Amino acid sequence: MQPDKRTQTILDGFGTHFDGHATHLAIAPGRVNLIGEHTDYNDGFVLPVALDRDVRVLFRSRADRHVKLYALEFDTWADFEIGNRKPNRSQLWPNYVQGVGLELAELGVQMQGFEGVVSGNVPRGSGLSSSAALEIAAAKAFLTSAKQIHALTGPQLARAAQKAENEFVGVNCGIMDQFISTLGEEGHALLIDCRSLDYQRVPFPDGVSLVIGNTKASRSLAGSAYNERRAQCEDGVRRLKAALPEITALRDVNLEELEAHRSLLPSTVYRRCRHVVSENDRVHRTVEALERGDFRLVGQLMDASHGSLRDDYEVSSDALDKMVEAMRGHPGCLGARLTGAGFGGCAVALVQAGTEKEVREKVQEAYAKAMNLWPEVYISPPSSGARVLPLVSGGSDGRTLRG
Ligand code: GLA
C-alpha cells in the first residue's frame, strides 16, 4: 500500500528529524457522539462513532526507556523518560503521551521507549476528542515498542488512557472518547455500557449521514462547568439514596423513580438528574430506532437530547444553539444536537444521505449570518478505531505500509 498524502508528509517529517527509517504507524481517530451526552461518568450509555480524522504517530522503538516525539503541527518536542512523574509545564500535548506511558508501566507492561513524529487532523479543542486520539495513538506506540500489543484488551486500554487524562493531565473526563477511539468500527456506531464496559456494534444505516458543524466559539467555561455538573450528579445520587439505598449512580434510576423522589432534590440538581436519566433512555430508543430504520425518530431523539442539554443540563451556548438551528434549517436534516461536553465546540446532525453537501452549504451561510463567525463543517462516515500499520522496505521512498 502506498502512503496517502498525509502519511507521506509525516514520513518526510520523520526524515527531517531522524536518521534512518520508522517501523510503524499508529493511527487513532477522533469521535463524534450521536447521543448519550454527560452519561458516561454516570455509569450510563453512549452511542459514539469514530471519525475519519485521526492522530498518527510514526515511530520506531528505542533500546532504552526514552521517548522523543516531534509534533508536526506544533513544531515542538516531547522528550522524557518513561516513569517520569513531572508534568511538562510549558506545553500540554506531551503530557498526554507521558501520562499514558506512566499508566501502562503501572499496569505491568515491560516498557520500551520510542521515537518519531506525531501529527493530527482532528480539530483541536473542538469537542471531537483530539486528546483521546493522541492518548490512544501513543498507547499503541508504547505497546508496539514493548512488543506487547495484545497485553491489554480494548476496554482496558481505554480505561488506562482515561486514567492518564484524569490523573496526570488533570482533566476529569469519562471513558467514552478513549473507548470509541480504541474500538470504533467502520460503518458502525458503538453502544457502550460505561459501567460494565460491554459494547455492541450498531450498524450505521445507508440512508443517512452525519454532518458536523464546528462553531469555532471559545469553550473557556468547559473545564470548570464540567466538574460542577459531575459534582451535581453525585450530589443527586447521595440525596436519592435516602429513598433508593441500592443505587450507586444515576444509571440506576429511572424516570418514574426520579419523579417519585423529586422532593429530595434541590431544583437545579433535579434538572441535572432529569437530563442524565432521560438521556440514557434516549440512547436505547435511538439504537432501536436505528435498527428499525426509523430515522425520523432518531432525529427527534437527537433534537430532544439537545433540548435537555440546553434547558436541564445547561451546557449549550448561543453558538451551539445557532449551529443546531442552522442545521435544522435544511429539509434534509432529520435532527441535530450539540456533541461532546458543550459550551462551544461542535454540533452533529443526522441528514438524509445525499443531502450532506447542501446541508453543509446551508450551515455555512446561516450560521455565519447568525453569529458573524465562519464555521467549519465536516462530513465523516463512521470509521475504524485505532490500529498500527507496520512499514516495510520497498516502494519509491524505500517504505510502504502494510495495512
Ligand atoms: C467530554 C468527556 C467525555 C464525556 C463528554 C460528555 O467529551 O471527555 O468523557 O463526558 O464530554 O458526554
- Per residue in 142-191, pLDDT (tens digit) is 999 999 999 999 999 999 999 999 999 999 999 999 999 999 999 999 99
Instruction: Specify the residue with its C-alpha closest to ligand 1, atom 1.
Output: 341
Q: Could you tell me the pTM of the whole model?
A: 0.97
How far is residue 88's CA from residue 285's CA, in Å, rounded to a whole number?
A: 44
pLDDT of residue 218: 77
All three cell numbers of 259, joined, read 419523579
Task: Name every residue whose Cβ is closer than 8 Å to that of residue 346 and which is 6 or more positions away in sequence.
Answer: 32, 126, 127, 128, 212, 213, 214, 215, 323, 338, 339, 340
Report, as residue numbers or ranges, the catalytic residues: 177
Ligand 1 centroid–CA 171 distance in Å is 10
pLDDT of residue 55: 98
All three cell numbers of 254, joined, read 429511572
If you write DSSP's letter for every residue of 305-372 in order, what string do you get? HHHHHHHTS----HHHHHHHHHHHTSTTEEEEEEESS-SSSEEEEEEETT-HHHHHHHHHHHHHHHHS
pLDDT of residue 221: 60
CATH number of 5-203+383-401: 3.30.230.10
pLDDT of residue 222: 64
User: Which residue is associated with the grid cell 432521560?
Assistant: 278
Q: From the alpha carbon of 127, which atom of ligand 1 is closest?
A: 7
Report the chain's terminal Cα–Cα distance, integer Å: 7
Do 5-203+383-401 and 208-379 agree at the fold level? no
Read off φ and ψ for residue 197, nearest 5 degrees. Answer: 65, 20
Asked whether 31 lines ligand 1 (CB < 6 A), one says no
Weakly modelled stretches of the chain, pLDDT under 70:
220-222, 393-403
How far is residue 67's CA from residue 56's CA, in Å, rounded to a whole number?
A: 16
3-class SS at 102? Answer: helix
Question: Please, how many CA atoms are within 13 Å of residue 322, restricted to the half-sphere of its CB?
Answer: 22
Ligand 1 centroid–CA 280 distance in Å is 14
Q: Which CATH number fits domain 208-379: 3.50.50.60, 3.40.109.10, 3.30.70.890, 3.40.50.2300?
A: 3.30.70.890
Q: Provide the Cα torsion 379, 36, 188, 215; round to 10°.
A: 10
Q: Would you list the domain boundaries of the chain?
A: 5-203+383-401, 208-379
Asked whether 341 lines ligand 1 (CB < 6 A), one says yes
Read off φ and ψ for residue 208, nearest 5 degrees. Answer: -135, 160
Ligand 1 centroid–CA 239 distance in Å is 24
